[in-house]
Amino acid sequence: MATASKDQTVRLWKVDAEQPTNYPAKVRAFKIMRGHNASVQSVAAQPSGNMICSGSWDCTINLWQIDDSSAEGNLVSTKKRKVKNEVDESLFEGEALSTLVGHKQCVSSVVWPQKDSLYSASSDHSIRQWDVETGKDLLNLFSGKALNCLHVGGESSSLIAAGGSDPILRVWDPRKPGTSAPIYQFSSHNSWISACKWHDKSWYHLLSASYDGKVMLWDLRTAWPLSVIELHEDKVLCADWWKGDSVVSGGVDSKLCISSEISVQ
């Protein structure tokens, strides 16, 4: 798994799959990627798992390649680094394969739904689609608000959902030429939107999480939320679908909540 940090690095972690299920899994960092000049805000993996991308407060997106031919998953360009106070463990430092430049402010969210293109959202109010091979942006949408999150899914895995510094969840269809306006706008939240995620098996359903302490489930065929989950006592920071139609969410209240028995049809 990959994590992004305010220490300006991206780290890769290994989970000990042979650990007995009745014991906590052992997790250790085995790679460290340096290349950003500010906090790393977001990270996403290519569908194949051979590459990852990271978005940063330095306004750039870095691409990192992982070599699956090695049992240790070594990066293409590496050098050993000793971890302080851990004699037997070492990290490998890798350099970015390439850097995507274009955003003017923090790259708050990245997703990589197709092998050859990835998407990014930024505090500069824009959403961009990037050609991984050339490094050029293929699409540039403006939301009018600083963005916190985005996800690509829906019909033909082509719809872009994004939320940010207002209570509105917006959805764009980039397949429609000549238009940059969202095709859907959902406005039942009362504060900033922190996360959004399409359902894996339904074109019509997605969820959103907000600083208003709520997680809402949406159907594109209706303007009102199908369900409102109110389990948190403070801002909800993240949410995702889990095991089909259940929802898992985390918040400022230090709680991890799981909501089940949600009907998505």
pLDDT digits 0-9 by tens, 1-42 = 899 999 999 999 888 766 666 677 778 888 899 999 999 999
Give Cα separations from 121 to 54, 150, 160, 258 (angstroms): 12, 6, 10, 27
SS3 258: strand
Provide the pLDDT for residue 265: 66
Which residues are registered as beta bridge partners of 122? Answer: 107
Q: Which residues are CB-contacts of 256 (< 8 A; sequence separation ≥ 6)?
A: 248, 249, 250
User: How much is the pLDDT for 76?
Assistant: 36
Q: How far apart are CA 89 and CA 72, in angstroms?
A: 13
* CA distances for 242 relative to 10, 102, 129, 207, angstroms: 25, 34, 27, 12
Q: How is residue 2 written in tokens?
A: 């990959």
Q: What is the model's pLDDT at position 88?
A: 36
Q: Quote the distance between the C-alpha of residue 187 and its chain's center.
A: 22
Question: Residue 75's pLDDT is what?
Answer: 39
Q: State which residues of the chain have pLDDT below 50.
A: 68-83, 85, 87-90
- Residue 156: predicted pLDDT: 80
Spatial contact of 230 and 247, defined as CB atoms under 8 Å apart: no
Nearest to 196, CA basis, from 224, 175, 167, 176: 167
Enumerate the β-bridge partners of residue 120: 110, 128
**Which amino acid type is present at position 47?**
P
Query: Could you tell me which of 212, 135, 144 has the C-alpha nearest to residue 180?
Result: 144
pTM of the entire predicted model: 0.87
Q: Which CATH number fits domain 143-264: 2.130.10.10, 3.40.50.1370, 2.60.40.10, 3.40.50.720?
A: 2.130.10.10
Say what the pLDDT of residue 66 is. Answer: 81
Distance CA 112, CA 101 (A): 17
Residue 90 vs residues 31, 205, 256: alpha-carbon distances, Å: 8, 44, 32
CA distance 164 to 27: 33
What region, left, alpha or beta, does residue 261 occupy, with left being phi > 0 and alpha being psi -120 to 50 degrees?
left
CA neighbor of 78 nearest in space, from 94, 89, 62, 67: 94
Q: Quick one: pLDDT at residue 20?
A: 66
Rounded CA separation 243/224 (Å)? 24
Phi-psi region of 190 (alpha: psi -120 to 50; beta: other; left: phi over 0): alpha
**pLDDT value at residue 94:** 79
Q: 77 and 65 in contact (C-beta within 8 Å)?
A: no
The reported pLDDT for the residue numbered 15 is 80
Tally of CB atoms within 10 A around 238: 15
pLDDT in tens, 243-263: 888 999 999 999 999 998 676
For the chain, state the CA radius of gyration: 19
